[in-house]
Structure 1
Amino acid sequence: MLEVNQIYTHDFSFSQKDVEAFATVTGDTNPLHLDAEFAAKTIFRKPIIHGFLGGSVFSKVLGTQFPGEGSIYLKQSMEFVQPMLVGVVYQAVFTVLEILPKSSARIETKIIEVETQKVVTTGEAIVMNRQLIPKI
């Protein structure tokens, strides 16, 4: 059962093939994500990962690992604080902020670049799971 202040972490990274597949599926073919020559002329100097590709780790973890399978993902806010890059190792950090009615919970979601410890994405999620979240 989830408890307030419980923390879960998950390390991950994305490849350029992941970025290209995401661009194909979503139709977001912004050259900032796909074209190194174009990206070199921007403030980022290299292609960056789509923000929602980075944030997709929240859906993966909340639906399958924490709280776990069968969770219903009700809401997610995200702020993209720093760009994410291909091949960099990141850590998603989930902190239970509050247990809510109807077996749901408010969870802080954050992505940190492992090497620098810089926060790159912040947000909050609300999930429901009748088996894994206590009913209040």
Structure 2
Amino acid sequence: MEKKSYDSFQIGETASFSKTITESDVSNYAGITGDFNPVHIDQEYAKDSFFKDRIVHGMLSAGLISAVLGTKLPGPGAIYLSQDLKFKKPVKINDTLTARVEVIDKKPGKNILELNTSCFNQNDIEVLTGNAEVMINT
């Protein structure tokens, strides 16, 4: 992975990363974070919930944004400064998510990029949206 200079980033530049969220991903995430909310891990409980099925942890879905930031845009050396999120739709196990980031502003002198961040499911439905700031470590 090639490290880019701050000046080489352009407003409107985009990158994405896709992954199918598996049962194992949800179990591992619960174990790592300690979030064993039954709506994520217990089918019997979840079938009586608002969603009528288990849903993926929201922050697991949002974690795919970090994959884009650390590997593609801006890429290696990026420092994740902030993120706001709005969870718009539930994500189910075996959904394929695509995290997408777009450069929407630059803060020269600080080496900071402002990014629009979003995730879409396999039906191209936006499941989360937000904005992030990253610093380019040059």
Structure 2 length-normalised TM: 0.89
- 1:73 equivalent to 2:80? Answer yes
Unaligned segments of structure 2, at least 5 residues: 1-7
The answer for the alignment partner of 1:20 in structure 2 is 27
* Aligned equivalent of 2:70: 63
CA distance in 2, matches of 1:120, 1:56: 13
Tell me, in whole angstroms, the C-alpha distance in 1 between the residues paired with 2:98 and 2:61. Answer: 11
Q: Which moved more, 1:68-77 or 1:88-97?
A: 88-97
Offset, 1:99: 0.7
CA distance in 1 between partners of 2:65 and 2:16 (Å):
11
Deviation at 1:114, TM superposition (A): 2.4
Give 1:111 shift.
Answer: 0.5
Contact persistence 1:11–1:90 (CA under 8 A): yes
- Displacement over 2 Å in runs of 4+: none
For residue 76 of structure 1, what is the amino acid of its counterpart? Q
Q: Residues of 2 paired with 1:9 and 1:52: CA distance?
A: 17
Gaps of 5+ in 1: 132-136
Give the corresponding residue for 1:48.
55
Contact 1:64/1:70 (8 A) holds in 2: no
The answer on 1:125 being equivalent to 2:132 is yes
The root-mean-square deviation of aligned C-alpha atoms, in Å, is: 1.1
Return the offset for 1:11: 1.4
Contact conserved, 2:98 with 2:120, CA < 8 A, in 1? yes
1:90 is the counterpart of 2:61: no
| Alpha-carbon distance, 1:130 to partner | 3.7
User: Once the two structures are aligned, what percentage of the paired residues are identical?
Assistant: 32
**TM-score where L is the length of structure 1:** 0.91
